[in-house]
């Protein structure tokens, strides 16, 4: 028959004297009173497996009051009744919580150290790969728990970059999958839930929109100069070139969309790429060359709704395929498309050292999370203006080489 233990009271505890053995409260809860006058609660029990006697401090009195100490002891005793050591159980829960909350960046640092320690990578190689991750992965997903990363979020984020830097994205995704594989081997992840990412970011055999190098622009202008295309059609090619707009967006521009005072074109969301899930309004800083082109177009269509109005259909823009037709008729079939003009401009900006985010914003590519998108829209318009002017100046120089 279990020995009855008379529970302690708060009044008793305040008056208890120091002694070598603890005061029992029942349910494996004990109070130690030290010569210094300090008091602390402990849980003393028999381990359910080893059968050894275990003593664990659970808190100092009066920071931990008697009522709360009893509540803790009650929870511990319930675990013991199920043959679970309460402290080992708590440790497992803490480790599981830490495992679930382990962020991508935190584990990537472990992955990096292991790679170098196991000599799987040379230091110079790892440094190069780490810088790539620091630029393209960690700023956007570094603070996310490994378990919370989803293929959907990663695909949505990286697809715009993949259009212009396929090699970079493939390398970043490859390293991310390697990081997750290591997390599986160390028990951080139960399985690599991101392994199928490589299916999305593996180059296909189909060809992208053909384009030419920026150095080949003078030859393009030479061909346009002697062609018998309508002047408005030729100017449309140049307009798409200068604004970096998609073909359908370029012809949809109305005079009311243009803020001549601030030299900015404002395209509402409904005129932007229709395949986007959530099209966003887009502002295009206009270079001096683009403004000069608009001045010429005013002579033709200043009285009409659209800058590039249809020649025969009132109130309608010209076809989005007009620029493609001009290029084909001037020997660029299979060599350059209207959409390829964007790729040419994007490559030129990259070669000139324009930052990735700024160049992407010039193309109206969505990149990053909502916060970074707001940053792009509100904080770097003038940086985009410099990039557009840099490109406009190059186009003008190429045109003057006729």
**In whole angstroms, how far apart are CA 243 and each of 203, 251, 388, 394?**
28, 11, 8, 13
- Is residue 365 part of the annotated active site? The answer reads yes
User: Angle at CA 84, nearest 5°, toward 40 and 95?
Assistant: 80
Q: Hey, CA dihedral for 196, 202, 207, 210, is it positive or negative?
A: positive
- Is residue 342 part of the annotated active site? The answer reads yes
Residue 48's closest CA among 28, 66, 32?
Answer: 28
Catalytic residue among 365, 384, 385, 399: 365
Report how far Cα 284 is from the mean position of its chain's Cα atoms.
Answer: 24
Residue 151's closest CA among 201, 200, 194?
Answer: 194
Go through 226-249 and write b for each residue having 16 or more CB atoms within 10 A of its CB, e for each that does not. eeebeebbbbbbbbbbbbbbbbbb
- Is residue 367 part of the annotated active site? The answer reads no
User: Angle at CA 128, nearest 5°, toward 124 and 134?
Assistant: 140
3-state secondary structure of 348: helix
- Is residue 157 part of the annotated active site? The answer reads no
Report how far Cα 298 is from the mean position of its chain's Cα atoms.
Answer: 42
Catalytic residue among 223, 266, 339, 386: 339
Catalytic residue among 304, 342, 384, 385: 342
Contact 52, 46 (CB under 8 A): yes
- Is residue 271 part of the annotated active site? The answer reads no
- Is residue 23 part of the annotated active site? The answer reads no
Contact 141, 155 (CB under 8 A): no
Catalytic residue among 89, 266, 375, 377: 375
* CA gap 182, 180 in Å, rounded: 5
* CA gap 395, 375 in Å, rounded: 28
* CA gap 305, 327 in Å, rounded: 26
Q: Residues near 387 by Cβ (< 8 Å), separated by ≥ 6?
A: 349, 354, 358, 359, 362
Residue 227's closest CA among 307, 112, 318, 326?
Answer: 326
* CA gap 101, 88 in Å, rounded: 20
Catalytic residue among 246, 282, 304, 399: 246
Catalytic residue among 193, 266, 273, 316: 273
* CA gap 110, 108 in Å, rounded: 5
* CA gap 190, 24 in Å, rounded: 44
Active-site residues, by number, are 246, 273, 339, 342, 365, 375
């Amino acid at each position: 028959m279990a020995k009855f233990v008379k529970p302690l009271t708060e009044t008793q505890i305040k008056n208890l004297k120091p002694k070598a053995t603890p005061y029992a409260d029942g349910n494996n809860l004990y109070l130690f009173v030290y010569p210094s006058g300090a008091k602390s609660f402990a849980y003393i029990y028999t381990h359910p497996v080893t059968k050894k006697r275990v003593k664990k401090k659970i808190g100092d009195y009066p920071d931990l009051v008697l009522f709360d100490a009893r509540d803790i002891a009650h929870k511990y005793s319930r675990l013991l009744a199920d043959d679970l050591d309460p402290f080992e159980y708590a440790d497992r829960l803490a480790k599981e919580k830490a495992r679930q909350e382990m962020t991508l960046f935190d584990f990537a640092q472990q992955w990096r150290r292991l790679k170098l320690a196991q000599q799987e990578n040379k230091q110079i190689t790892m440094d190069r790969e780490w810088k790539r991750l620091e630029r393209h992965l960690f700023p956007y997903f570094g603070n996310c728990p490994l378990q919370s990363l989803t293929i959907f979020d990663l695909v949505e984020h990286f697809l715009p970059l993949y259009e212009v830097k396929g090699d970079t994205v493939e390398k970043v995704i490859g390293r991310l999958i390697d990081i997750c594989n290591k997390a599986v081997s160390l028990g951080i992840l139960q399985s690599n839930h991101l392994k199928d990412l490589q299916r999305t970011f593996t180059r296909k055999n189909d060809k992208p929109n053909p384009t030419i190098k920026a150095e080949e622009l003078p030859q393009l202008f030479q061909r346009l100069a002697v062609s018998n295309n309508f002047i408005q059609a030729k100017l449309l090619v140049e307009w798409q070139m200068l604004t970096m707009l998609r073909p359908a967006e370029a012809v949809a521009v109305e005079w009311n969309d243009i803020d001549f005072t601030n030299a900015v074109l404002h395209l509402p969301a409904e005129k932007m790429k229709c395949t986007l899930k959530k099209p966003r309004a887009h502002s295009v800083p206009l270079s001096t060359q683009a403004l000069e082109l608009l001045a010429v177009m005013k002579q033709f269509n200043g009285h009409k709704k659209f800058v590039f109005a249809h020649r025969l259909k009132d109130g309608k823009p010209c076809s989005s395929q007009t620029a493609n037709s001009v290029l084909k008729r001037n020997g660029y079939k299979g060599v350059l498309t209207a959409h390829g003009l964007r790729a040419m401009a994007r490559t030129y900006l990259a070669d000139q050292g324009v930052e990735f985010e700024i160049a992407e914003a010039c193309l109206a590519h969505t990149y990053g999370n909502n916060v970074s998108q707001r940053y792009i829209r509100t904080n770097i318009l003038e940086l985009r203006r410099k990039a557009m002017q840099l490109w406009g100046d190059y186009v003008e120089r190429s045109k003057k080489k006729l």
